[in-house]
Amino acid sequence: MKAVRFHQHGGIEVLRHEDVPEPVAGPGEILVRVKACAINFLDIWERRGLPRVHLHLPHISGADVAGVIESAGEGVSDLKAGDRTLISPGLSCMHCRDCLQGRDNLCRRYSVLGFVTDGGYAEYVKVPAVNALPCPSNLSFTEAAAVPLVFLTAWHMLVDRCRIKQGEDVLVLGAGSGVGSAAIQIAKYFRARVITTAGSETKLQKARELGADHVIDHSQQSIHEEVRRITHHRGVDIVVEHVGAATWQDSVNSLAYHGRLVTCGATTGHEANIDLRLLFARQLSVYGSYMGAKHELLEVLRLVRAGYLRPVVSQVLPLEEAGRGQQILEDRQHFGKVVLEVG
């Protein structure tokens, strides 16, 4: 089969579109013919190399897969060849205490498809059968691939970690990102007032079209000063933070008394400071969030089928242009997801 993989860490030049052995589904697994795979920043970190993370090389990235079941391994009886499927990207043991309690993203063996395993930048990928979910019939494969990782992440941040409530004020950093575009929609579903940020008028307009009530041009305006102005100096109840060092102080300063900051990423750096006096005096809460549980993705897909949430696809590229797709993300030239069409 054809796949895009890298044999060493480095820039986009290390990505190779080449022939590789086709995987074989083992017991409890299925083989999926990949139709579309979305690109995530995780793929870029893998390709660049991560401290203390040793990937088996050569490596195939890709967590967000939509396709058709090609075959099923031993012990799989409820799935059949030809079924459309959307893959839940979280991999876990499925038999520990956390997995059995429906909190599989807390499993000690939890990982993401395409991280320590080969992923969807390929014509075929094998996955645990338990990760195969029905692909929403109202979505194309390209649209479906734009859903799992970012909507699951944003849902877990707002619903599980922050317990979002109707009427709250929510600041979403980076409207043009996958997590940002998903978080805007989820917050609006809960009837929150959404303030979001972006670095161009084009992106700000797209954020408005997604439902954002107020927008801030972070290239020209101070985020926390604009938040204070919009909220009449109160601040917001929730900040959805995934940018990291570049926006951390603005995020903290934008919180209202008893506000909650939830973070899932650090694309601009992982070092951040907080004034403890501000933390306890304002009774703030800071939450870490990583992916989400499979049952949360099922709830997201229910709302996608009903039309309350919709994937945002920025660009569609052929598999062999995966490097170009990653470059688009690195250059912040996207709004929503960049998706690879595979077959």
pTM comes to 0.95
What contacts 38, CB < 8 A, 6 or more positions away? 62, 63, 64, 145, 146, 149, 178, 337, 338, 339, 340
CATH architecture entry for 151-288: 3-Layer(aba) Sandwich (3.40)
> Is 244:268 a contact under the CB 8 Å cutoff?
yes
Give the three-class secondary structure for 61: coil
Token pair of 29, please? 């697994």
Q: What is the pLDDT of residue 53?
A: 86
What contacts 318, CB < 8 A, 6 or more positions away? 340, 341
Q: At 315, which helix (H) or strand (E)?
A: strand 313-318
State how far the alpha carbon of 283 is from the alpha carbons of 120, 170, 187, 264, in Å: 43, 17, 23, 21
Q: In this structure, which CATH number among 3.90.1150.10, 2.40.30.170, 2.60.120.380, 3.90.180.10 belongs to the domain 2-147+311-341?
A: 3.90.180.10
Residues of each domain in the chain carrying CATH 3.90.180.10? 2-147+311-341
List the alpha helices (DSSP H) in the chain. Answer: 41-48, 97-100, 141-145, 148-155, 178-189, 201-210, 223-230, 248-253, 276-281, 294-306, 322-330
Q: What is the pLDDT of residue 267?
A: 84
Tens digit of each residue's pLDDT, the chain (343 residues): 999 999 999 999 999 999 999 999 999 999 999 999 999 999 999 999 988 888 999 999 999 999 999 999 999 999 999 999 999 999 999 999 999 999 999 999 999 999 989 999 999 999 999 999 999 999 999 999 999 999 999 999 999 999 999 999 999 999 999 999 999 999 999 999 999 999 999 999 999 999 999 999 999 999 999 999 999 999 999 999 999 888 999 999 999 999 999 999 888 888 889 999 999 999 999 999 999 999 999 999 999 999 999 999 999 999 999 999 999 999 999 999 999 999 7
Q: What is the pLDDT of residue 116?
A: 87
State how far the alpha carbon of 242 is from the alpha carbons of 57, 109, 182, 249, in Å: 28, 23, 13, 13
Q: What is the pLDDT of residue 271?
A: 87
Residues of each domain in the chain carrying CATH 3.40.50.720? 151-288
